[in-house]
Amino acid sequence: MGGHTINKIENGMESTMPDLSAMIPPQLLSTLPFEGKSKDAVLDILASFKAHDVPWKSGRMFGFTYDPGEDAMDVAYDGYMRFLTENGLDWTVFPSMHKLETDLVAIARELLRGDKDVVGSCTSGGTESILCAVKTARDYCRAHKPHITRPEIVLPETAHPAFHKACSYFGVTPVLTGYDPDTFRADADAIRNAITENTILIVASAPGYAQGVIDPIRAVGAIALERGVLFHVDACVGGFHLSFMRRMGHDLPDFDFSVPGVTSMSADLHKYAYAPKNISCVLYKNRDLRFFQYFANRRTTCYAIINSAVLSSKSGGPYAGAWAILNYLGESGYRRVIEKVQSATKKFMDGVNAIDGLRVLGNPEMCMFSFVSDRYNVFEIADRMREKKFYVQPQFTHGVTPANLHISMDWASADHVDGALQALRETVNELDSSTDSINLADIRTHVRELVAQLGPDAETALREMAGISDGGLPGKLALINSVMDALPDEMAEYILTNYMNQTFA
């Protein structure tokens, strides 16, 4: 394989994509018009904004969207639009919102094997569910463990970044624990050893997003009971899919409220329940715990407020869309979806493992997995797959886990496994014959030299090296992803934040 030279790196190779602003016709970058436009004109302009979006309806996008097929989506869309303007801020004004939310929570409770005491709330997504769970644990411990003044949560490195976001928002310290480098499951003994008198919550995933494996929930639940701490299971991606798999007879470890010690769970409806975004739920072992999620205020001249989650005003659309698709598909419909998706996932993983130089990480337990290469730059694979109209999601190096590509399968993408595997085989053949590949080892060496030489002033040089301009990105992302992969976490986060801050108005 050819090596990418430092000169080409420094010259910002392949920096050919126009600025993001150029993706939208200049005449549309304007202030509010004095005279309104016609309905057709408005809709045509909105449609033009999507010209450079990944075409998710093609079924060739293995991440971010979850497509149940046209018929089911039409039902969900109609339900969504019928409740678009109903507001969940005050269910005494819109009791329909109370009905929708209690129905959705009841369905989730049954699937996650909660008893009659389990309660919950709907949220705008997995991140809000996780924010609520961390905030609830913090405030519960303020009331019941007032000696804790510096709260901590014990968090496996495989847990979702939303937990770090929650810690940042709520003044909680994340205490990170390791994972098995072969199975990618959280290390239960490491979790036990990380618990201190300041621990307010421990976390595990079912499954972890990156590699699709279920943490040892029973072992962690036993630790939670032994140490008297709250235990949250993040089942945002797996809560619904895994529950139906279990009912269909798949051999899965216990991961839900049937496990002693589990005190809260999150499960997204807009992922593998196939509801339109944004809708998730967070459930608690009992009302005594959920009490600390709520926020009430009567200390201003405004109306009294009581919020069940972070948001106040919230459209009834996502609630009705979720209710509609759950009732349209029913359990038999979800079983058909899961049978097709799991079969396609196995076919995809077997196909990846059959390609010389590629291998699937761990032993995924549902329709999500990732794969690595000891021979090719995975970021170049992602670019070339996108040229072939297939989207796969890059994930950066972390600890002993190398950079990899993530696949999330759904009902629509299950029909495109053969095409994706063919594109993948063509891609590695192209890379074999390429003389201009980007060598990750060379990039890492050069980045470390720049950081050591320039320290805090390295950002400009790194941006130029990656081909990043203000307001735009290179036409291909392999170079920028290779540079970002080589950076220390804190510097990568700073550069990403600064770039976003410069790009958006």
How do residues 348-380 score in pLDDT, each as one tens digit? 999 999 999 999 999 999 999 999 999 999 999
Q: Concatenate the DSSP letters of all residues of 321-334 into one string.
A: HHHHHHHHHHHHHH
Res 24 pLDDT > 70: no
Res 68 pLDDT > 50: yes
Please tell me whether residues 10 and 109 are part of one structural domain: no
Q: Which stretch of DSSP H or E encloses residue 230?
A: strand 230-234
How do residues 304-355 score in pLDDT, each as one tens digit? 999 999 999 999 999 999 999 999 999 999 999 999 999 999 999 999 999 9
Across the chain, mean pLDDT equals: 90
CATH code (residue 126): 3.40.640.10
Q: Concatenate the DSSP letters of all residues of 434-484 into one string.
A: -SS---HHHHHHHHHHHHHHHGGGHHHHHHHHHT-BTTB--SS-HHHHHHH
The pLDDT score that the predictor gives to residue 304 is 92
Please tell me whether residues 113 and 199 are part of one structural domain: yes
Please tell me whether residues 139 and 203 are part of one structural domain: yes
Res 5 pLDDT > 70: no
C-alpha distances in angstroms, 223 versus 135, 180, 197, 228, 458? 21, 18, 14, 8, 44
The pLDDT score that the predictor gives to residue 25 is 46
Q: What is the mean pLDDT of residues 300-307?
A: 93
Provide the residue range defining the domain that includes 456. Answer: 6-23+439-503
Please tell me whether residues 14 and 120 are part of one structural domain: no
The answer to the question of residue 12 being in a domain is yes
Please tell me whether residues 298 and 189 are part of one structural domain: yes
The answer to the question of residue 121 being in a domain is yes
Please tell me whether residues 111 and 13 are part of one structural domain: no
The answer to the question of residue 373 being in a domain is no
Domain stop point among 267, 302, 324: 324
Please tell me whether residues 278 and 184 are part of one structural domain: yes
pTM above 0.75, yes or no: yes
The pLDDT score that the predictor gives to residue 492 is 87
Res 27 pLDDT > 60: no
Share of the chain above pLDDT 70, in %: 92
Please tell me whether residues 19 and 139 are part of one structural domain: no
Please tell me whether residues 193 and 308 are part of one structural domain: yes
The answer to the question of residue 346 being in a domain is no
The answer to the question of residue 96 being in a domain is yes
- Provide the domain count of the chain: 2
Domain stop point among 308, 324, 340: 324
Q: Provide the pLDDT confidence category of residue 15 given band limits of 50, 70 and 90.
A: very low
Res 180 pLDDT > 90: yes
* Range in 85-94, 144-153, 285-294, 459-468 the model is least confident about: 459-468
| Amino acid at residue number 471 | G
Q: Are strands 393-395 and 280-284 parallel, antiparallel or unpaired?
A: unpaired
Res 8 pLDDT > 60: no
Higher pLDDT, 17 or 504: 504
The answer to the question of residue 476 being in a domain is yes
Q: Provide the pLDDT confidence category of residue 22 given band limits of 50, 70 and 90.
A: very low
* Range in 80-84, 151-155, 290-294, 468-472 the model is least confident about: 468-472
Domain stop point among 274, 309, 324: 324
How do residues 70-82 score in pLDDT, each as one tens digit? 999 999 999 999 9
The pLDDT score that the predictor gives to residue 49 is 87
